[in-house]
Structure 1
């Protein structure tokens, strides 16, 4: 006679909890992109003004069209996996940033590509 193997109740609760958390983080990631006009591409060629390494993402500031723009590059671990080390991003360093501007018209962009010293790095 074959024995039925059942997931213990505690295992089921853990599995459901993990599913909820993964779903919430996927929805959050999508909602982060919802603020940007992914149908529009903006290219900014400028020296870096400031660099902010945050726990969730790295962002830089550049001057473009008379305004200071905030450009979200992504997680520091993503940049590192693409070959960008901390010293690569420093004030005064010329870069080309390609990405999607915010829908609300504020001076903010989510970068999809970073061109640094002739290297093209995909950030998505």
Structure 2
């Protein structure tokens, strides 16, 4: 195998692996878009980190984890970490996970009367 062919092969393999990771991350197929619902509850805990923030809410005796948008998108739309402090009541609209109980993909959130579209 020539050096040029080796470089092309290695580059192709890298591209395939990188594309697979990107598709896995951005694939929302594990959420049931036919069962949209809203949870209104106080914030228990917030993980404000990329690639997506995560919000923990206590609802009907269970703790739900809501996967939010990337930080830059939420900040650009007026949602800050300070707005999601523990104890603040929020309404989160989204879709339940088909794989993980009590997990949801959040589409929008209402905080202090302000609606923020996350997708």
Q: Please state which band the TM-score falls in when normalised by the shorter chain.
A: 0.7 to 0.9
Q: Secondary structure at the match of 1:109?
A: strand
Q: Separation in 2 of the partners of 1:119 and 1:102? A: 25
Q: Could you say what the CA RMSD is over the residues aligned between the two structures, in angstroms?
A: 2.2
Aligned residue in 2 for 1:57: 52
Aligned residue in 1 for 2:73: 78
TM-score (ref. length: structure 1): 0.76
Aligned residue in 1 for 2:97: 102
Shift of 1:56: 1.1
Q: Which has the larger radius of gyration?
A: 1
Correspondences of 1:24-39 after superposition (within 5 Å): 24=20, 26-31=22-27, 33-39=28-34
Q: Separation in 1 of the partners of 2:107 and 2:56? A: 15
Aligned residues: 111
Aligned residue in 1 for 2:41: 46
Give the gaps of 5 or more residues in structure 2.
none
Shift of 1:35: 1.2
TM-score (ref. length: structure 2): 0.79
Shift of 1:104: 3.2
| CA offsets 1:51-76 (integer angstroms, 9 cap, x no match) | 01122110110011210111111211
